[in-house]
Chain A
Amino acid sequence: MTKVKKYWKGIEELENSPEFRKSVENEFPEELPVDKFLGNDALADTSTNRRDFLKFLGFGVTAATIAACETPVNKAIPYLNKPEEITPGIANWYASTYADGNDYASILVKTREGRPIKIEGNKLSPVTKGAVNARINSSVLSLYDSARLKNPLAKKTAATWAEVDKEIKSQLEAIAAKGGKIRILSNSIISPTTIKAITDFAAKYPGTEQVTYDAVSYSGILKANQANFGSAIIPDYHFEKAEVIVSFGADFLVNWLASVEYAGQYGQTRNPKNGKMSRHFQFETTLSVTGSNADVRVAIKPSEQGLAVLALYNIIAKAKGAATYDAGIADEYKEKLQEAASELLAAKGSLVVCGSNDTNVQFVVNAINSLLGNYGNTIDTATPVYLKQGDDAKMEALVAEMNAGSVDGIIIYGVNPVYTYGEKFASALSKVKLKISFADREDETASLVDYVCPDNHYLESWNDANPKKGQYSLGQPTISPLFDTRQAQESLLKWAGIETSYHDYLKANWQTTVGASWEASLHDGFYSVPVAQVAAEPVKPAAVAATTETPAAPATDISSAAAALRKGVSAGTTELQVYIKTGLGDGSQANNPWLQELPDPISKVTWDNYVTMSPKQMAELGLSRLERGDDNADVVEVTANGVTVKAPAFPQPGQKYGTVGLALGYGRTAAGKTADGIGANAYQFVSVVDGNATYAAYDVTVKATGEKYQIAATQTHHTLMGREAIVKETTLTEYLKDPKSGNPQVKLQTTNHGKQPVKDINLWRDHDLKLGHLWGLSIDLNSCIGCGSCVTSCTSENNVAVVGKDEIRRSREMHWLRIDRYYSSDMTEDIAAEKGMGAIDKFTEMEAASENPQVSFQPLMCQHCNHAPCETVCPVAATTHSLEGLNMMAYNRCIGTRYCANNCPYKVRRFNWFKYSDNEQFDFNMNDDLGKMVLNPDVVVRSRGVMEKCSLCVQQIQAGKLTAKKEGRKIKDGDIQTACASACPTNAITFGDLNDETTLVSKLSKDDRSYNLLEEVGTQPNVYYQTKVRNVKESA
């Protein structure tokens, strides 16, 4: 017998216990949890068995299939009583006003079937002249923000207006009865009728006082002017009259004061055609949009700003024979300051502005402007600007008052101080008995109050505005309130016992105080009164004291200010500059996905703020400089004034060595799902010094944490690497010698007949371009300031999807129009040749931007090539050429091979990697019934798997042609505007018919500065660029 080895499966088998034997007999060691599976007993009683289930399944599938073949029953529900002005399918335009306490613009609102879908500038307005910025044209999406409150809240629970009014009124009356204090905390109110409503409210409740608080404060200027002119005003600046502009940290093209207006004025001075251009000096810490447009940019530390201003004063004062004061400025700035000063002195009109909020600095700036004779020329004190009225000292006093428990009631209107002013405000707020907020959402502040009485969105409201003396504009609702909200002014009137609607109240006030025809003003959107005729200042904002006769120029005794500046600040090795980004601004519209996804004009980063640092300093600290597309930024801890913030470090060429920058507007915690948790709150570093908010910290420590953070930038390569045909540029001196300078004709050698112009070398069968229209664009790189207004305007017009940070990291942004930003490099072909460098070394060095680079912006959309490489490779002819020069894209034909995108030399084609609408993964406005109301019904929402790109707003072209046909006339130049052209504040983009010789665009396309991008490729685009002309001296 063979011995069979016995193996046990386990100790249980060896022991062979009765339990084990029982379990062996059972094949499945555990009972199948059938009961659990079925869940409830009721299922066992049902008559549905497996066969029935299959029957139902089969029936369901068949029914669905058959139903799919049925004619869809679509309902068409007409109006019962059609309003006369509405014709379905035709847009209505209304003139209105955007004023949010930061930006002001007279606007036109496009509505379709009662829904506002697009904001454009009002070209008739004498103030903004049709300019808008990214924040303004994106504001239409904020209307459809689902984070907005849908009804009033009382003690955090939903309530009705009747309940809320009753409770608030009784409490206000109780406060008034005992002589208690009520405070209305608001941003700068430029609406005369709102001020009247507040006055009426204060008349009913005598303890009421209004406190103006601006999150981004200009109280330094107001106080300096108070000292100089006896009234706290901001004068009207005229950049268009200035031959030399010197700005100390004022980002006046996109953020500072009335930037929308200034951008247009600045654009006027940048046309070399007239033989001259303004010369622009910028002394600043973090590279700003304004700084990147400057002819001379000097990076300085925040602590040196005051001294630099004083040093400039000294040079000018010396020349003018006025008193000078020792500035003690570092030697490195002396040369540029001297250059600026001598040019200022030589110029007929000049302007010196400063972004500092320090009264002393502004005092010296006034003195400089006074010495230069700019008052009455480029600075108009007779026309005060009312956009900013906040006094930081008064806000401090209010918080002290609240902490002392002496404020009985507070009404918060248009501001979010818990976010912008900080926790100090939250604790002070808790000591106020009656807390009311007009916030449109339960934001950081509104979540701490007793009653939230949500204000309408501005597109749902009546309002007026008085941005500067003599200029009035009206805001009108373009849609009924979407939710159960009420205009803040109406709430105030109601509580004051005035039962008229705000519309009637406004109309009466407009007619009596402004004295203009209501209908005409409503149609135009604005009304202007010559300043001299604004007799008794009928509608002066509360914070602006009465001005009688303003002196033409301020006194120039600045000794005390100079002494204060000279004393300086105790600066450490590293300083912090808090700055404003073009997209988010002060952060009030942070929950707007279009603005979050708008790449920052300078850094090209989306969806984040970050610590900007000089690349040199980052190398010293061992931080990643994000080279070659690396997006893993090192997280650093920035500590200043006892506050520590963690944020990724971002290498910013042009950032002053020894400084860091952090943008405002991020780090929201209660703005809504889009904004919450994104970035760090830079307001924490804002401190109040000498009664003014200071947007800098002078002793900062920056420490690496070892953590990594992925940032999403749309551009990761920053220099042109010696390529000359992309951004062509020249200097003013060269341009005046030869208008074609910097724009040589591109010639290529193909045969032994020598070099030929590219246009003559042709592999293609030409389209007949002479027939009918030939649409084209001309983009003046000299006027383009890179602000990004065109990008959001395009997004709004063409239903461009928001894809979110993660997709942008994968380079899958959908923007049809991008603005490429290039830095100059210290290494050029010439230098490399001189040094005899090898190609690898040369290109390695070319990749790095200069420490303080020259910057160029280049808006790039589909170039609508007449020899389009994309058209050739499409296997299904989904992209084809039209007789009118358009490169067309038929989405329904596209099968998504992406050959076209690969073959496009401009990389302007965008692929729909996903379905971005109705997709939980892309939870932005297109995944939301409310957010979808912003979509333009004339443009298809693209689906997954198709390519898309700039159509040159073909819907506008078609509509413009149709109007002309119906009216039986030729198309007038300017009749048709693309979204980008209409949104450009500096008119850098011009659209029109290239075949019509009378149009501006056809003239521009034949200009000496005009060129096609990558001309040597032979694509023959219909988009033309104009050479950038820098007003720099040859020595540079």
Chain B
Amino acid sequence: MHTKLTKVFFPLFFLFFLTFSFTAKAVDGEKLFKQNCSACHKLDDKKLTGPGLKGVFDRVPQPAEEWLYKWIKDNAALRASGDAYANKVYNDFGKIPMSSFTHLSDDEIKAIIAVIKAGPPAPPTPVATAPGAEPAQAPKGNTMLYVLLGLTILFLILINVLSGVKRSLQTLVNEKEGLPAPAELGAWGEIKYWMAHNKGIVALGVIIGFLWISKIGWDALMGIGVYQGYQPEQPIAFSHQVHAGQNGINCVYCHSGAEKGKTAGIPSANVCMNCHKAVQEGKLTGTKEIAKIYAALDYDPNTGKYGNNPKPIQWVKVHNLPDHVYFNHSQHTVAGKQECKTCHGAIDSMTVAKQHSPLTMGWCIECHRTTEVQTAGNGNGYYDYIHATYKDKFKGQPITVEKMGGLECAKCHY
């Protein structure tokens, strides 16, 4: 009884996500490049904050790979050692220091160098059908409606005609038998007559109608406070499609809180300026929108100086969780190893950010019920400890978030 109750009444959500998407630790150079380098460097010859990397092997002191290794590992040290080329690059690019990557392993740096060597990937062939598919579908839905509507009218006419025929025939029969002609009931009268003689069908219809209307009402009520698809206009027409999609900037480059704490965070304007000090013209809107960042910071792109009248940018929050829910991004991204798009959808194709998921409790719980936690053998000491207590009871069964208490109230509500 108790466990049954638990199943029925306690569907609540929890933070432990772990997926089986945990992949083997092969060094993925492209991913590393995307995470660490792509914010400032392109693989072609286009300049961002840093130089484009096309032909870099010919430019730098030889042997190029060795030099690049030193430069990537700790460019400040290389500059300090008096390397002429290193200092030249530094001075040429406005003395904006490149980050050091001392935390990367040798293999990882080598993988990055390999990616640079390979050069830019071939431009993807545009998906020809994509733009055309959308308009083609729209009339299709409408046609169905028109066909239905037409059929309905046709049937109504048919009913009318048939009942006319029936009445005429009845009149004829009655005339023949010397009975008076049936009363002229009119259309509404006919319906009433039919209803009076088919009470069972009418009752069934009423019940079905009632249930149908109730369902609509219930769905409407359940939709209160659910803002799936919410896509507010933002003060700056920032395009995720350009930044995350085309430029391939890693999500956490800007939303750095996603791997640290509860909020992913909206990047502060100084993060924008890491690139937009150099990139002063956008692909879609030219200088118009980028100028708004400068205005917020009171920055003059011509002189490169900051004024003292900055005004914070008032973004409109897209994802609004109720105050009584505790949600922690880092739980899901770091401990649970979830991809951003699992909840946020294809943000990298949105020009205006949109709420992809319903963010309802049912949605949270559904995921917690089905997501399996990789407890054993992923090198995480915490889960090793937990697994030791679980393995006997759940031998052979997948350990889902739910089994680890992921539906309990106090995992998210306190």
Contact = CB atoms under 8 A, between A and B. Distances in A.
A78 B236 CA distance: 14
B313 A77 contact: yes
Given A75-B314, A765-B2, A970 B268 contact: no
B232 A73 contact: yes
B232 A71 contact: yes
Nearest to A952: B410
Interface stretch (B37-45, B200-208, B322-330): B322-330
A962 B408 contact: no
Interface string A70-107: 01111111111110000111100000000000000000
B183 interface: no
B332 to A, nearest CB: 10
Interface in B302-320: 310, 312-317, 320
Contacts of A73: 232, 316
A768 B271 CA distance: 49
Interface string B198-238: 00000000000000000000000000100100101000000
Given A78-B267, A78-B315, A939 B310 contact: no
A80 B268 contact: yes
Interface in B231-258: 232, 256-257
A72 B265 CA distance: 19
Interface string B379-408: 111111110011001000000000011001
Interface stretch (A401-409, A672-680, A889-897): A889-897
A688 interface: no
B270 A81 contact: yes
B91 interface: no
A80 B408 contact: no
B350 interface: no
Nearest to B267: A78
Given A78-B265, A880-B10, A966 B312 contact: no
A938 B323 CA distance: 10
B331 interface: yes
B110 interface: no
B84 interface: no
Contacts of A938: 326, 414
A891 B409 CA distance: 10
A87 B266 CA distance: 11
Nearest to A959: B328
Interface in B1-37: 1-3, 5-6, 9-10, 12, 15
B257 to A, nearest CB: 5
A444 B390 CA distance: 64
A772 interface: yes
Interface in A23-76: 69, 71-76
B15 A74 contact: no
A89 B408 CA distance: 22
A882 B14 CA distance: 11
B316 A966 contact: no
B341 interface: no
Given A877-B9, A891-B324, A78 B312 contact: yes
B340 interface: no
Interface in B362-393: 379-386, 389-390, 393
Contacts of B314: 75-77
Nearest to A83: B268
Interface in A757-782: 765, 768, 770-772
B291 interface: no
Contacts of A893: 409
Contacts of A961: 382
Contacts of B330: 962, 966
Contacts of A968: 379-382
Contacts of B393: 768, 770-771
A81 B315 CA distance: 15
A883 interface: yes
A893 B1 CA distance: 21
Contacts of A521: none
A445 to B, nearest CB: 41
B53 interface: no
Given A882-B410, A884-B405, A890 B328 contact: no
Interface residues of B, number: 63
B404 A883 contact: yes
A1006 interface: no
B414 A954 contact: yes
A196 to B, nearest CB: 35
Contact of B408 (A78, A81, A883, A967): A883
B115 interface: no
Contacts of B389: 770-772, 995
B263 interface: yes
A772 B404 contact: yes
A886 interface: yes
A226 interface: no
A955 interface: yes
A87 B258 CA distance: 10
Nearest to A881: B408
A91 to B, nearest CB: 9
A901 B261 CA distance: 35
Nearest to A877: B9
From DSSP, what is the main secondary structure of chain A's interface residues? loop
Contact of A962 (B227, B331, B383): B331
A76 B317 contact: yes
Nearest to A90: B261
B15 A958 contact: yes
A969 interface: yes
Contact of B409 (A69, A77, A890): A890
Nearest to B361: A892
Interface in B246-289: 256-257, 260-263, 265-271
Contacts of B297: 80
A770 B324 CA distance: 30
Contacts of A954: 410, 414
Nearest to B379: A968
Nearest to A966: B334
B111 interface: no
Contacts of A82: 268, 270-271
A70 to B, nearest CB: 10
The CB with the most chain B CB atoms within 10 A, among A880, A893, A971, is that of: A880
A940 interface: yes
B84 to A, nearest CB: 32
A88 B265 CA distance: 7
Nearest to B296: A80
Contacts of B414: 938-940, 951, 954-955, 958
A176 interface: no
A71 B227 contact: yes
B335 interface: yes
A838 B56 CA distance: 101
B408 A87 contact: no
B405 A77 contact: no
Contacts of A888: 408-410, 413
Contacts of A88: 257, 261, 263, 265
Contacts of B326: 938, 955, 958
11 contacts: A73-B232, A81-B268, A877-B10, A882-B410, A886-B410, A890-B409, A890-B413, A951-B414, A954-B414, A966-B334, A971-B382
Interface of B: 1-3, 5-6, 9-10, 12, 15, 224, 227, 230, 232, 256-257, 260-263, 265-271, 296-297, 310, 312-317, 320, 323-324, 326, 328, 330-331, 334-335, 379-386, 389-390, 393, 404-405, 408-411, 413-414
Interface of A: 69, 71-82, 87-90, 765, 768, 770-772, 877-878, 880, 882-884, 886, 888-893, 938-940, 951, 954-955, 958, 961-962, 964-971, 995
Closest 5 CB pairs of A and B: A888-B410, A89-B261, A82-B268, A89-B262, A890-B409
Given A81-B268, A940-B413, 16 more contacts: A71-B320, A76-B315, A78-B265, A78-B268, A90-B260, A90-B262, A765-B2, A768-B393, A877-B5, A882-B405, A882-B408, A882-B409, A883-B408, A888-B409, A964-B381, A966-B334
